[in-house]
Amino acid sequence: MIIDGKEIAKKMYDELKNEVSKFKSKPTLWAILVWNNSSSLRYIEQKKKWAEYIGINFKLEKFDEKISELELYNKIKSFNENPEISWYIVQLPLPKHINSQKIINNIHPKKDVDWFHPNNQGKVLLWDESGFVPCTPAWILEIFKHEKIDLEWKVVCVIWRSNIVWKPIISLLINAWATVLACNSKTKNLAKFTTQAEIIIVAAWSPWLLKVNMLKVWAIIIDVWFTVIDWKIHGDADTRLINLVWSRVTPVPGWVWALTVACLMKNTIKAYKIQNK
């Protein structure tokens, strides 16, 4: 069975739209775009489209790709100090001559609805009750909620390569009392761990890494990212034999974006409610 991420995102947007319609004023989300690559542009378009659908003002400031680190830093500082800007995002990635982590570290934690600042990441680690979650781990939790999957007592295998996302997701899984098997590219005999798991979250950038014989029957696969081979898009799970052993799989791609954007909107609305209560 396919888990329909776009449907989950649509449901979230409609719930948020309904909430915003009761607000006394319209929330505004600001965005900074530096690198105009096609992927970033599409992301920003999606954010604009859905923000407006929900009823959020979306204000974009575009900069030249050649902006210096110092100029961008000063921009961030002016955003932090501007009382009219309650929340903003910096669209990643940034051009290579700019140190992204340094920029992220300078976003004011209270204005950081992407939840990227170390202070906010630390709160995820510390089981903070404020309920904010960085957008990628957040959408994985939305899937579990939508599919009515209770993580308590469950064994979850996480196969990950990147750093930004996997530790928050591991933290969140542990908070929910799951037993977590955290694997990486240096794990010996990966199948030994995947076959023990009721849920597998994979973002290894390795097409067809997960084969049918590496899965427990009824396993739920969250396939996070994709690779392009011969103009075709492939996830990390070999979905060709899906019906043989497992019940539910999230297919790549497209809807990943939809859900990430939906979670950003959710964070913005939450921040608005805290500010206005």
Residues marked active site are found at 47, 91, 114
| Residue with smaller CB distance to its own copies, 93 or 118 | 118
| Residue with smaller CB distance to its own copies, 113 or 124 | 124
Interaction of residue 170 with its own copies, rule CB under 8 A: yes
Interaction of residue 131 with its own copies, rule CB under 8 A: no
| Residue with smaller CB distance to its own copies, 149 or 164 | 164
Q: How far apart are CA 60 and CA 69, in angstroms?
A: 19
Nearest residue to 107 via CA among 94, 95, 126, 96 = 94
**Do the beta carbons of residue 91 and residue 33 sit within 8 Å?**
yes
Window 92-111: contact mask with its own copies (x via CB under 8 A): ---------x----------
Query: Exposure of 87 by Cβ count < 10 A (0-12 exposed, 13-18 middle, 19+ buried)?
Result: buried
- CA 222, 224, 228, 233 dihedral sign is positive
| Residue with smaller CB distance to its own copies, 24 or 188 | 188
**Do the beta carbons of residue 275 and residue 110 sit within 8 Å?**
no
Q: How far apart are CA 116 and CA 139, in angstroms?
A: 15
Strand partners, 229: 232
Among 123, 161, 216, 270, binds its own copies (CB under 8 A): 123
Among 81, 84, 152, 230, binds its own copies (CB under 8 A): 152
Interaction of residue 144 with its own copies, rule CB under 8 A: no
Which residues of the chain form contacts with its own copies (CB under 8 A)?
Answer: 101, 117-128, 152-153, 155, 163-164, 166-168, 170-171, 174, 177, 179-184, 186-188, 192-193, 196
